Amino acid sequence: MSPGFCRRCASPLVPGVPEGEDRPRLQCPACGHVEYQNPRVRAGCLAGCGSGTAVLRTVLVQPGERLQSAALRALGASLPEDDLALYCAITDRGAGEVSLVFRSLAGLLGGRGGQEGESVPQWQSALLEQFEADLHRPDVPVYTAEFNGGRLLLAVVERS
Ligand SMILES: [Zn+2]
């Protein structure tokens, strides 16, 4: 879904490698504007809700919004930010998104997430499964992950 016209001067964009860069971008030959296409950033929060089950809620981070604020907004709970620990950083090339998923140390305190009207990432169920397995461990790892061909490939970065 690439834009066809310059957002500054409405001239047709053409692909090319901008000076000093190493990959092709859409550029405006009239005014020099470069149309960068960056991944969307998603923040999420996992929380256990007793009996070994967990919930994961995510939202797209808004411009200027802090990651932790977005994660708490996703969870729909008013918790202090110190109740969040980073759990997984996920690259989802297919969706053009990077996601930072936190876990709530306090557990789920009710409330509704901010997921209505937003797409649910395809990796969600795989990460939930991993989190439910990690929930009762004394040392919950921090992961990086890549969602690739329908599979979530997790790598442990650090144990806390
Ligand atoms: Zn232009």
| Cα 12 to ligand 1 centre (Å) | 8
Q: Report the greatest alpha carbon distance in the chain.
A: 61
Gap from CA of 42 to ligand 1 centroid (Å):
30
- Spacing, Cα 28 to ligand 1 middle (Å): 5
Query: Looking at the domain that runs over 1-37, which CATH code has it been given?
Result: 2.20.70.10
86 CA to centre of ligand 1 in angstroms: 40
How far does the centroid of ligand 1 lie from the alpha carbon of residue 88, in Å? Answer: 39
Do 99 and 92 touch, CB atoms closer than 8 A?
yes
Where are the domains positioned within the chain? 1-37, 40-159
In the reported structure, the alpha carbon of residue 38 is separated from the centroid of ligand 1 by a whole-number distance in angstroms of 19
Identify the residue with better confidence: 160 or 15: 15
Segment 124-153 mean pLDDT:
90
Mean pLDDT across the stretch 64-74?
Answer: 94
CATH class of 40-159: alpha beta
Average pLDDT of the chain is 87
Q: What is the distance between the alpha carbons of residues 99 and 121, in angstroms, rounded to a whole number? A: 9
| Mean pLDDT of all residues in 104-113 | 60
- How close is the Cα of 70 to the center of ligand 1, in Å? 33
Q: What is the pLDDT of residue 117?
A: 55
Task: Please give the distance, rounded to the nearest whole angstrom, from the Cα atom of residue 94 to the centre of ligand 1.
Answer: 29
Stated pTM of the model: 0.79
Whether 97 shows a pLDDT value over 50: the answer reads: yes
Residue 54 and residue 115: Cα distance in Å, rounded? Answer: 16
What is the arithmetic mean of pLDDT over 4-27?
93
- Looking at the predicted structure, is the pLDDT value of residue 58 above 90? yes
